[in-house]
Structure formats: structure tokens, C-alpha cells
């Protein structure tokens, strides 16, 4: 029996006159869009400091073509396989048209959200378009990726940018090949496209000539009003940080304070988004005296700050301030992402100097060994680093936060770029209100000296893991760090892959606990117990390879926070009367979240 087809009215213009009027509006808006974009390019000048190829794509694909031309048979075989796939697809489509129920030739991966609309499967034309694209994308990526003779770094770059190209060409990204967009266009007589172009014009204006795609309602959220609300006080500040001490919610607290060093690539309040998903609020309620470093958003004045400065004015100044605030010299510390890399390096420096103020360290999605640091490595070679350095010099000595955000968004382009192109510009909808995406868009700048040191020493040279990094004249050796270590990783983390985090189990020589959470770089960390989401894996043994660790691990549903609390509580000393901010030798400067968290 033939399957029912979508009625023609779903893909028919409702009001031709109104549709025509909207097309006239779209034409006018398109002209303005192009004009505004060109004006922005003139106003911004050369955004990459004069580099015509900031990503070094030209040389990458020259190298690729050189190897590819030596193996012409590879492409002949690949084209033959693609032809066979298309024959199978045409046969499948013909059988469907005759009323048969036949399985698809190819299906999207389980996590692919682009083809969720039912017409991608139920409507024969769109089903053919979808499967044709999936076959072509698979062919493109396998053909490019299987060329022999490429060195690993070039192969990784070719794979990454081939996927970016394939993702950009998805039929879901275009008006006439996306059934949801096409239906909405006919239903609204093109009003969605008018609204979409208005959204694009606003984003161009917000980005000052560069397209700054909104991922959420930027006007709804405000730090200190509906984000970062856990009560606390700024008790210390310097050029690089404000130190927050949180108001206790228990009568007693553990004697040993807990200090958190978040990444300075974003604002600290990922740890305090809202009442129901605040790690800070939860930890305070568990009886910890919680301090958090709220890093400054650097400008030209701080362009010469170094990685060493972040150690001295960040971690060391915070430790001194905590001792004054609580009277306790020894602390437990947490480092998140790049904050964890800084903490690792600092621990090695402190070990060399006999400084034992940090008695345990927890690392959230943080790397010390960057030999398997994931897709971010494709942005690291001499040419790209030189181009980035030139860009930072041209901008006044810092990297604009929007450029960092674009890099991270490219790692998940379908979710963090193309989905918003479809929603905002093709469907003409406003982005939904989502606190995490607001935080993701609340970017910060990177001082040139610090950032180039981090990229070259960690991502390019892997100096910290090799024992070659030097800070303040001291060569750092992580094997001298013998305090208890807790390593949190996440199964789907694309920024600090669990394989990379696991390598730290072999670097530190004290007792190490490794844990892998479900989800990714953010949701894998920010997963409160009351949410009853995801899962985590634990294994007391630390075999040589992470695959062996996974094979022997136990899976537990829900948040990993209680597992960590059980570990840290044993290292936090006795209970003492709760400490209020300002009780010690530090005066309160202002209420949390403080001025640094609100800096644009």
C-alpha cells in the first residue's frame, strides 16, 4: 500500500499578494545587508593583521593534493563506491514511489538534530535530498581522510575542515531544501524571511560589521539580576582577579577552605548560573568555605600580563588573601579548563619551592598533557600562531573574545552555528532564553603574552607534560606533585577529551582519582544531583590505557558531585563555626558577583 504523502497545500503560497510584498521587502533588506557588511569590512580594516590565510588552509590542502596526486587510483575507487551508493539510493526511491516500505540506504547519526522534522523521512523528495547529502558527505570525508602519506597533523586539519565544508552544505541550511523552512515560508507568505533578515541585520550591527550570531536572548539575562545570584562578597582584588567569598548556609564549615580557579576564557559564573544548577551554591550547602576567582576581562592596559602573572597575581595572591580572610593557610583547590592547566603548572612550581599550602587539587575538564588535545590542535601551527599574534598586536595586544568563541563554536558547528542560522535567519525566530548559552556568548579577551605562551607551550610544544616548561626561572616537574588529585573528565568533551585528561594520571605521583562523567565540557561538569541527568563512571584502578580503565569502570546514574564530595570531605579537616565574609582581616569590597564579572 502506498504511503500517504503530504498534501500540496503544505507547500503552497497562501496569499500571493502578501508573498510578493514580502519579497520586495526582502530585496530591499538584502541590499542593506550587503551594504552594511561591506561598510563593516572597510571600518574594521584587515582583521587578521594582514594575513590572507589566517587558518593556513592553503598550505594544508597543497600538502594534501601533493599526496593525493600520487594515488589516483584512490579517487577512482572512491568515485565508483559513490556511484554504487547512488544507484542503491535511486533504487530505494523508485521502490518507495511504487508504494513499498523499504529501509533507508543511509541514516543520520543518533545525535544529528538537523533532520528531526518528519518530512525528512516521510516526504519522498526530502528523504531523497537528505540521503543524497549524507552519502555525499560520507564520501567526501572518507575520500579526503583516506589519502595515504599525510602526516598526522595535516590529516587532522584536512578531516576537520572537510567536515566543516560538508556541514555548511547540508540541505537543512538552505531555504528550498529544508521542509520546515519551506513550509513556514509558504504559511507566513515569506514573513519568516523578512524577520530573519532583520535578525541578521541586528547581528551585523552588534558585531560591528562581523556576523555575531545570537545564541540566546541577550537582553533577558543580566549578571547579578538573574545570573550569579549565590550570596557572596568580594574580599580582595588586584589587576587580574576579584576574589569572592560566599556567605555560609550552614552553621559549621570544614576548617580547610575551598578555592576555585575557573577558566579566564569565559566568566566564572558558569559555576553559579542559577539556583538549581549552581555548583557554588551546592558546595556551600555541603559545608565548604567557598572562594572563587572572578578573572578580569583584560584590555590594552593588561596586554603584557603573562602566564606567570596569572600564577603570581591569580593563585598566589588568592592564597594569601584566603589566609587573611580565614586565618587558615592550607586550602583545597579546583581548576577548571585553562584554570586547571594553570593550577597544574603552579603545583609543580610550589613543589619545587617546598610550598605546601594547597593540600589537594581537583581538575574539571583540565589538561596537563596536550598530546591528544582534540580538534583544537588543528588551529595550532607556526603559521596560524604567527597570524594570531599579528591579529592581537593589531588590536592593541589582546585577542577579541568573539574570535575565541567562533573557534570553540566551530568544534560543534551544527549545534552552535548552523542551528542558529536556520532558527534565526531562515525561520525568523528569536533564539530561546538559555542561561548557559548567554554565558557562552559573554566572552572575554586574552592578553597577548599570556595567550601566546599558553598556545605555544601547551598545545604546540606540550612542554608541561614533558617537564620543559619554565615559570619564574623554575623548570616544572609534575612528578614532584604528590598531593591527592581528583580528575574529572567527560565522555563527550570536545575541548578537553577524556583521553587527554586521563594522561594526567601518569604525571602526578600522589594518590590520583579519575572519574568520567556523561555529556561534555560544560554539562559534564555542571550536573547537579537534583537534575537526575546523565551518569558517571568510576574505577579505583589506573591502568596504562584509558580504554582499559573504561572496560573495568562502574557506571552510576546521575551526578558525580556526591562522589567528589565524599572524596574531598575527608581532606577538608574538622568542622568549625561558619565564617562570614569580612570576619577576618579582609574588608568587604562589594557584593558578588562584582565588577569584573560584569565587564564587557
Residues 289, 328: Cα–Cα separation, whole Å: 11
DSSP state of 458: I
CA torsion 600→379→523→219, rounded to 10°?
30
Task: Give, in order, the Cα–Cα distances in Å from 440 to each of 297, 377, 416, 524.
Answer: 14, 21, 10, 15
Residues 42, 232: Cα–Cα separation, whole Å: 45
Annotated catalytic residue, options 158, 182, 265, 337: 337
Cell numbers for 101: 516500505
Q: Which of 197, 144, 281 is nearest to 24 (CA)?
A: 197
Kindly tell me the sign of the dihedral angle through the C-alpha atoms of 324, 329, 332, 335. positive
The CB density around residue 95, as the number of other CB atoms within 10 Å, is 12
Q: What is the largest CA-CA distance in the chain?
A: 83
Name beta bridge partners: 242: 237, 294
Residues 494, 222: Cα–Cα separation, whole Å: 28
3-state secondary structure of 188: coil
* 337 carries an active-site annotation: yes
Given a contact cutoff of 8 angstroms between Cβ atoms, the answer to whether 134 and 106 are in contact is yes
Name beta bridge partners: 361: 333, 485
Block residue for cell numbers 591527592 = 484
Residues 246, 259: Cα–Cα separation, whole Å: 11
Q: Which of 386, 510, 511, 447 is nearest to 54 (CA)?
A: 386
Cell numbers for 583: 570576619
Residues 115, 580: Cα–Cα separation, whole Å: 53
Given a contact cutoff of 8 angstroms between Cβ atoms, the answer to whether 492 and 520 are in contact is yes
Kindly tell me the sign of the dihedral angle through the C-alpha atoms of 395, 396, 398, 402. negative
Q: Which of 364, 285, 386 is nearest to 524 (CA)?
A: 364
Residues 23, 16: Cα–Cα separation, whole Å: 10
Helices within 169-227 (DSSP H only): 179-187, 191-206
**CB contact set of 371 (below 8 Å; sequence gap of 6+):** 462, 465, 500, 503
Residue 430 sits at φ, ψ, to 5 deg, of: -80, 145
Given a contact cutoff of 8 angstroms between Cβ atoms, the answer to whether 391 and 406 are in contact is no
Q: Are strands 485-490 and 358-364 parallel, antiparallel or unpaired?
A: parallel
Name beta bridge partners: 557: 535
Q: Are strands 232-237 and 485-490 parallel, antiparallel or unpaired?
A: unpaired
DSSP 223-254: BTTTBS-S-EEEEEE-SSEEEEEEPP-SSEEE
Residues serving a catalytic function are 337
Amino acid at each position: 500500500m502506498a504511503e500517504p504523502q503530504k498534501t500540496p497545500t503544505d507547500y503552497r503560497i497562501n496569499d500571493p499578494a502578501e508573498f510578493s510584498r514580502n519579497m520586495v521587502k526582502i530585496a530591499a533588506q538584502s541590499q542593506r545587508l550587503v551594504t552594511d557588511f561591506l561598510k563593516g569590512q572597510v571600518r574594521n580594516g584587515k582583521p587578521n593583521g594582514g594575513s590572507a590565510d589566517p587558518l593556513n588552509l592553503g598550505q594544508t590542502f597543497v600538502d594534501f593534493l601533493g599526496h593525493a596526486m600520487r594515488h589516483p587510483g584512490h579517487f577512482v575507487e572512491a568515485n565508483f563506491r559513490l556511484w554504487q551508493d547512488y544507484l542503491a539510493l535511486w533504487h530505494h526511491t523508485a521502490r518507495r514511489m511504487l508504494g513499498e516500505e523499504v529501509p533507508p540506504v543511509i541514516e543520520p547519526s543518533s545525535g544529528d538534530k538537523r533532520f528531526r522534522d518528519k518530512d525528512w523521512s516521510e516526504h519522498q523528495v526530502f528523504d531523497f535530498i537528505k540521503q543524497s547529502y549524507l552519502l555525499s558527505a560520507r564520501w567526501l570525508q572518507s575520500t579526503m581522510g583516506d589519502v595515504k602519506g599525510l602526516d598526522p597533523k595535516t590529516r587532522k586539519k584536512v578531516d576537520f575542515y572537510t567536515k566543516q565544508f560538508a556541514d555548511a552544505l547540508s540541505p537543512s541550511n538552505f531555504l528550498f531544501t529544508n521542509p520546515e523552512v519551506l513550509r513556514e515560508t509558504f504559511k507566513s507568505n515569506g514573513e519568516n524571511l523578512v524577520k530573519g533578515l532583520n535578525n541578521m541585520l541586528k547581528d551585523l550591527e552588534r558585531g560591528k560589521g562581523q556576523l555575531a550570531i545570537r545564541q540566546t536572548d541577550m537582553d533577558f539575562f543580566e549578571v547579578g539580576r538573574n545570573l550569579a545570584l549565590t550570596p557572596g562578597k568580594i574580599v580582595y582584588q588586584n589587576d587580574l582577579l576579584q576574589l569572592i567569598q560566599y556567605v555560609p548556609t550552614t552553621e559549621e564549615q570544614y576548617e580547610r577552605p575551598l578555592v576555585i580557579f575557573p577558566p579566564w576564557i569565559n566568566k566564572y559564573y558558569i559555576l553559579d548560573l542559577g539556583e538549581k544548577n549552581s555548583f557554588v551554591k551546592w558546595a556551600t550547602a555541603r559545608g565548604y568555605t567557598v572562594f572563587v576567582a572572578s578573572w578580569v576581562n583584560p584590555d590594552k592596559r593588561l596586554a603584557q600580563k603573562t602566564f606567570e602573572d596569572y600564577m603570581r597575581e591569580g593563585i598566589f595572591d588568592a592564597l594569601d588573601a584566603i589566609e587573611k580572610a580565614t586565618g587558615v593557610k592550607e586550602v583545597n583547590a579546583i581548576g577548571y579548563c585553562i584554570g586547571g592547566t594553570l593550577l597544574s603548572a603552579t603545583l609543580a612550581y610550589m613543589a619545587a619551592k617546598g610550598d605546601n599550602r594547597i593540600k589537594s587539587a581537583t581538575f574539571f575538564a583540565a589538561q596537563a598533557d596536550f598530546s591528544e588535545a582534540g580538534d583544537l590542535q588543528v588551529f595550532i601551527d607556526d603559521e596560524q600562531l604567527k597570524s594570531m599574534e599579528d591579529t592581537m598586536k593589531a588590536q592593541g595586544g589582546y585577542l577579541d573574545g568573539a574570535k575565541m568563541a567562533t573557534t570553540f563554536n566551530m568544534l560543534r558547528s551544527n549545534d552552535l552555528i548552523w542551528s542558529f542560522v536556520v532558527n534565526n535567519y531562515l525561520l525568523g525566530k528569536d533564539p530561546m532564553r538559555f542561561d548557559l548559552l548567554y554565558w557562552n556568548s559573554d566572552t572575554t579577551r586574552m592578553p597577548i603574552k599570556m595567550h601566546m605562551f599558553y598556545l605555544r607551550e601547551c598545545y604546540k610544544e606540550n612542554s608541561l607534560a614533558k617537564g620543559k616548561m619554565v615559570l619564574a626561572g623554575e623548570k616544572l616537574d609534575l612528578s614532584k606533585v604528590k598531593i591527592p588529585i581528583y580528575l574529572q573528565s567527560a565522555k563527550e568533551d570536545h575541548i578537553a577529551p577524556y583521553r587527554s585528561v586521563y594522561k594526567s594520571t601518569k604525571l602526578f605521583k600522589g594518590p590520583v582519582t579519575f572519574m568520567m562523567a556523561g555529556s561534555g565540557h560544560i554539562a559534564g561538569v555542571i550536573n547537579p544531583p537534583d537534575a537526575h541527568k546523565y551518569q558517571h563512571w568510576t574505577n579505583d584502578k589506573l591502568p596504562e590505557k584509558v580504554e582499559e580503565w573504561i572496560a573495568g569502570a562502574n557506571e552510576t546514574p546521575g551526578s558525580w558531585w556526591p562522589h567528589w564530595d565524599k572524596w574531598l570531605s575527608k581532606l577538608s579537616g574538622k568542622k568549625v563555626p561558619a565564617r562570614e565574609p569580612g570576619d577576618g582581616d579582609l574588608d568587604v569590597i562589594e557584593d558578588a558577583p562584582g565588577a569584573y564579572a560584569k565587564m564587557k
